Amino acid sequence: MINKQDNDAGQRKRERFLRAVAGQAANELDSLGDSGGGNISLEYFYGVLEQVYVSNELLTVWGPDMARKPVIGLYCIMAPEELIYAAGAIPVRLCAGCFDAAKTGEDYLPRDSCPLVKSSMGLTVNSGLKVFDMCDVVIIPTTCDSKRKLGEELSAFKEVWMLEVPHIKDTEHSRRTWLEQIWALKNRLEGFVTPDGRKCRRITTAALGSAIDDSLRAQREIRRLLDLRKADMPPISGRQATAVVNSYAYAPVAEWTSALACLNDSLEKQAVSGKPKPRIYMAGSPPVFPNLKIPELVEEMGGIVVSDESCAGDRYLYDPVGSAERNLDDQITALASRYMAPCVCPSFAPNQDRLYVMKRNLQDYAVEGVVYHVLKGCIIYDFEVARVEKMLKEMGIPMIRVETDYHPEDVEQLRTRVEAFIEMLKIKRKAGAKG
């Protein structure tokens, strides 16, 4: 009797939790939909996010095939998803942005860890959201402290494979270690069988080749989208673009790519008129759907996010795999290179490369101001603020540092600061035009 009551209470709690997660996601989708101008088709991407977080139906995104395949959850962007596709499994990326889940996660993780990690923990512990529940394994690269320890804590609830990422990138030793890790991951995937008998295939040159091709097509389209945003009047707002890229985390690559190709085609035709808005670059911690708080604030206050360096945004799919030959050795080497060498995650030290990437983006996208987003607890991005600020000063680009978490309570306070920043940029532009 008591057990039943407990179960009922647990059930109700779970439902309440899922409703809260769905509510936040639905709100965010609503406000994203509003912000669009013209008749560009973002339906597919919003649809993916809606199905994952609101209607909680992952199967409609992936099709009936999904039930026969192992599902592999990924954190960060260091685990090569080409390997997972080639092994006949399904990759989904789990870095989460749900506020309510972050609250739950706080019971399991230190208060000072970042909200992204707490949110992911919360969604794993409070079962119910299918994208988390369906994962047979999660792969966690040892990037920042939070992610590394998250791996350990998650292992009480899920099968966790840790992937050891070297923190000094450009030595022969780290390249060798990392290559070994990727080979080990390949072997581990090939031997993987779920308890109910779904298994991965052997990874062949042909399978890996076509998985790499699929990713390359996605990358070609994402670069097209990025190029479109270089225009004086970008045809798509920054948070919409972020949502488009975010949705990749849960969608099959081929379908997502053809939807993006359509989107790019229609964006190319679209003529945008009006007054150019101050062009903002989002630096720092990644905004992950449904936590698009900061890009949203920037754009509500009259700016436009033209580019970012987020691992869930413009940097997620930017770098391609280029293998010298079509054989397994070269493909794996190329994968290893792609997933470590160009990555400018601040968990690497030294991370001077990040400044180069940023500098190029600031020039290419004619950026006028930088919003440096620091998620509370994301200490590594905060460490690099001074370095970035120094470079920006030399380039004559103003910067504002915004520290926040997933909680909506500080929005109004941040709004005032962001508004002032954007007004300042407008004045600066006018002064520049006169001078």
Partner 1 sequence: MKISRLRWAILAISFVVLMFGSYAGLRLGNALPTFSCCYVNTRGGTCFMLALQQTIGAFTLESMLVFMETLLLFSVLVIIIGKAWCGWVCPLGFIQDLLFTLRSRLGGGYVRFTESVKRKIAWIKWAFLTIALVIPVWVAFPLFCPGVALNLYIPFCQMCPGKYLLPLCAGNPDRISVNYEANTTVFMSVLGLTFSAVTFIGATVKRRFWCIFCPLGLIMSWFRRISFLKLKKEDVKCTRCEICYNVCPLDIEDVYKSRGKRDVTFADCNLCLKCVENCPEEGALKATFLGKPVYVSSQRKFFDKHISSCGGGCSSCGEGKKEEKHDDQQAG
Sites of contact with partner 1 (CB under 8 A): 41, 170, 172, 206, 209-210, 212-214, 216-217, 219-220, 223, 254-255, 257-259, 261-262, 265-266, 318-327, 329-330, 333-334, 337-338, 341-342, 352-353, 356-357, 359-360, 363
Least separation in angstroms between residue 380's CB and partner 1 is 19
- What is the helix (H) or strand (E) element at residue 161, kind and residue range? strand 160-163
- Taking the least distance from each CB to partner 1, the nearer of 155 and 258 is 258
CA-nearest of 17, 26, 25 to 105 is 17
Give the shortest CB-227-to-partner 1 separation in angstroms.
9
DSSP per residue, 323-346: -SSSSHHHHHHHHHHHHHTT---T
Q: Which residues make beta-bridge pairs with 74? A: 93, 139
Amino acid identity of 195? P
Cα Rg of the chain (Å, integer): 21
The number of angstroms, rounded, from the C-alpha of 65 to the middle of its chain's C-alpha atoms is 25
**Residues 310-333 as b or e (16 or more Cβ within 10 Å = b):** bbbbbbbbbbbbebeeeebeebbb
Q: How far apart are CA 120 and CA 260, in angstroms?
A: 27
Q: Shortest approach of partner 1 to residue 241 CB, angstroms?
A: 18
Helix (H, G, I), strand (E, B) or coil at 146: helix
Residue nearer to partner 1 on the CB measure, 94 or 340: 340
The answer to whether 317 touches 310, Cβ cutoff 8 Å, is: no
Q: How far is the CB of 338 from partner 1 (least distance, A)?
A: 7
C-beta of 25 vs 311, nearer to partner 1: 311
Residue 46 Cβ vs partner 1, minimum distance, rounded to whole Å? 15
Closer CB to partner 1, 332 or 375, in the complex: 332
Which 8-state DSSP code applies to residue 408? Answer: G
Buried b vs exposed e over 176-215: b needs ≥16 C-beta within 10 Å?
A: eebbebbbebbebbbebeeeeebebeebeeebbbebbebb
Please give the Cα distance from 244 to 308 (Å, whole number). Answer: 14
Q: Which two tokens stand for residue 353?
A: 């490369």
Please list, in sequence order, all residues whose beta carbon lies within 8 angstroms of the beta carbon of residue 61, skipping any fewer than 6 positions away.
48, 51, 52, 250, 251, 252
Tell the smallest beta-carbon distance from residue 77 to partner 1 (Å): 14
The CA-CA-CA angle for residues 155, 161, 164, to 5°, reads 120
How many helices (H) and strands (E) the chain has is answered by: 18, 8
Q: Which is nearer to partner 1, 58 or 391 (CB)?
A: 391
> In the 8-state DSSP scheme, what is residue 193?
B
Nearer to partner 1, 255 or 300 (CB): 255
Minimal distance, residue 210 CB to partner 1, in Å: 5
Min separation Cβ 313 and partner 1, Å: 16
Name the residue nearer to partner 1 (CB basis): 340 or 402. 340
Least Å distance between CB 328 and partner 1?
A: 8
CA 114/CA 371 separation, integer angstroms:
19
The three-state secondary structure class of 315 is coil
3-state secondary structure of 410: helix
Q: Considering the complex, what minimum distance in angstroms separates the CB of residue 230 from partner 1?
A: 11
> Closer to partner 1 at the Cβ: 29 or 259?
259
Q: Please, what is the minimum distance in Å from the beta carbon of residue 343 to partner 1? A: 9
Closest by Cα among 123, 175, 144 to 340: 175
